[in-house]
Amino acid sequence: MKPPKNTWWEKASPSEIKKRQASLLHTFLKTRVIPFVSHYRDLFEKEGLTADDIRSTDDLVKLPFSSKKDLGETKDFVVIPDEEVLKKQPSTWLKILRHGPRGVKQALAEELRPIHMTSTTGRSSEPVPFLYTKQDLANLEAGGLRLMQLSETDADFRCINAFPFAPHLAFWQAWYAGIANTCFCLATGGGKVMGTSGNAKMIDKIQPDAVIAMPTFFYHLVNYAKTKNMRWPNLKRIVLGGEKVPEGMRKKLRKLCAELGSPNVDIISTYGFTEAKLAFSECKVPQGHESTGFHLYPDLAFVEIIDPETGERVPERTRGEIVFTPLQARGSVVIRYRTGDIIEGGITYDPCPCCGRTCPRLLGRISRVSDIHRLNIDKLKGTLVDFNALENVLDDTEGVGAWQIELRKHNDDPLETDEIIIHLVSMDGASEDLENIIRQTLKSATELSPNRIEFHSWKEMREMHGVGQELKEKKVIDNRPK
């Protein structure tokens, strides 16, 4: 099965996008979701709705949201076809006409049989598996090709995919991006397979044009390369995924790449999540320009932005929670899925000022709703602490290398107050000044004073982050007794 080749996602007007999405959504619900996905069959019945009540993406508001807590039984969210129903569908007859009575079996298997899986990596919750059919892999490949096109990663580039080998979206998205773009792409398996030194040596040998990796891991890699006096003068693109990429992190990575001999790297951030079964990318902007946002693929997904409190849709370019509905997925399917991700600048349907594409875009930084925690900092009342703001301060402060936030109980006593300790690597060794700057910035940005700020070497921080041991670096660690 080949990835969808259409190009209207790049150039259709907002009204054309709306028209096409209405038709895709209606067909998807009518022929695949309501007949074959038990959770949504039940939900439509409970709400007294049929597919014909949802004629456009505006009608979707009639349907309640789905969220992580609904994703109980995996099979309830999978398209599991019923042969008798399939036989009666006009789309099956079209398939028989196109592929012949024998070919139709194979065509249906490619569309509907799950053959691949990735799962979520929640820190606190059980991993939730998401199934892919060949059609989903074709969509993933289409997403990969668009990622390469948006980032202007040419087919003759040599690439390194440094995501960990794992059943997680990031690795597979990068894998299919290389295949779709027919470019040389070496998958190192990340830190867990060959460590920081192994990855650095591989990059030193291949001298890639592009590296696709998680930001914190790549940050450790370039620092390691710097201490070993390596030269990586061929780097042109750093494509990041799996974690958010604050502006401060981009600046630091750009500076470090320049020190390794590549002063003109473009840093491209991507946004994906397990339930989307693909990732969206920024386009390459001229040096010194700000990102123009994550470019969405309106043929594959409908994204709406809602007020996380009321659930109402918000106007364009307004902060809110990202809600996702696929339009051509098979295997595991979620409709009106609340991601728990907040997009600061909302969504826009204006053409991209940089590349001119007309697909919708998500603007500004993304933060997690669940990153706001209630801590018992003073004994009397809980204090809401926004870890996004805390992390942004650390990422944006010049002179801060890597960091880790640790939560402890005072004296390790479960009944005592919570403590926040910030662990840091200083870029230029001036620790006392840096401590003062961080205390002041944190105070003004978050009204928070950490109990302690502790300084470490890069090597210590690599161990604390679990580079080489963990799939994702541990940037926030909770050491409170349970």
Enumerate binding residues for Zn ion (CB under 5 A).
283, 292, 352, 354-355
Cβ nearer to Zn ion, comparing 118 with 292 = 292
Nearer of residues 352 and 390 to Zn ion, judged by Cβ: 352
Query: Which alpha helices (DSSP H) does 124-182 contain, by range?
Result: 134-150, 169-180
| Cβ closest to Zn ion, residue 266 vs residue 391 | 266
Longest dimension (CA), the chain: 76
- Closer CB to Zn ion, residue 12 or residue 283? 283
Question: Closest approach of Cβ 137 to Zn ion, in Å?
Answer: 26
Q: Are 455 and 427 in contact (CB under 8 A)?
A: no
Give min distance, CB of 290 to Zn ion, in A: 12
Give 177 or 434: the residue with its C-beta nearer to Zn ion.
177
Q: Which of 398, 403, 393, 379 is nearest to 447 (CA)?
A: 393
- At its nearest, how many Å lie between Zn ion and the CB of residue 226? 32
Computed over its alpha carbons, how large is the radius of gyration of the chain?
A: 24
Q: How far apart are CA 143 and CA 138, in angstroms?
A: 9
Helix (H, G, I), strand (E, B) or coil at 58: helix
The residues near 206 (Cβ < 8 Å, ≥ 6 apart) are 158, 160, 186
Q: How far is the CB of 293 from Zn ion (least distance, A)?
A: 8
User: Which tokens hold the place of 326?
Assistant: 């696929």
In this complex, which beta carbon is closest to Zn ion, that of residue 92 or of residue 292?
Answer: 292
Q: How far is CA 417 from CA 384, 386, 433, in A?
A: 14, 18, 28
Nearer to Zn ion among residue 122 and residue 356 (C-beta) = 356
CA distance linking residue 301 with residue 286, whole number of Å: 28
- CA pair distance 413, 287, nearest whole angstrom: 51
CB 302, min distance to Zn ion, A: 19
Nearer to Zn ion, 71 or 355 (CB): 355
In the complex, the smallest distance separating the C-beta of residue 354 from Zn ion, rounded to whole angstroms, is: 4
Range 89-117 burial, b when 16+ CB lie within 10 A, else e: eeebeebbeeeeeeebeebbebbbebebe
Structure tokens at 456: 């470490």
- Quote the least distance from Cβ 357 to Zn ion, whole Å: 5
Cβ-contact 284, 267 below 8 angstroms: no
DSSP string, 372-409: EEEE--SSSS-EEEEHHHHHHHHHHSTTEEEEEEEEEE
Of 255 and 289, which has the nearer Cβ to Zn ion?
Answer: 289
CB of 292 to Zn ion, least distance (A): 5
Smallest separation (angstroms) from Zn ion to the CB of 40: 33
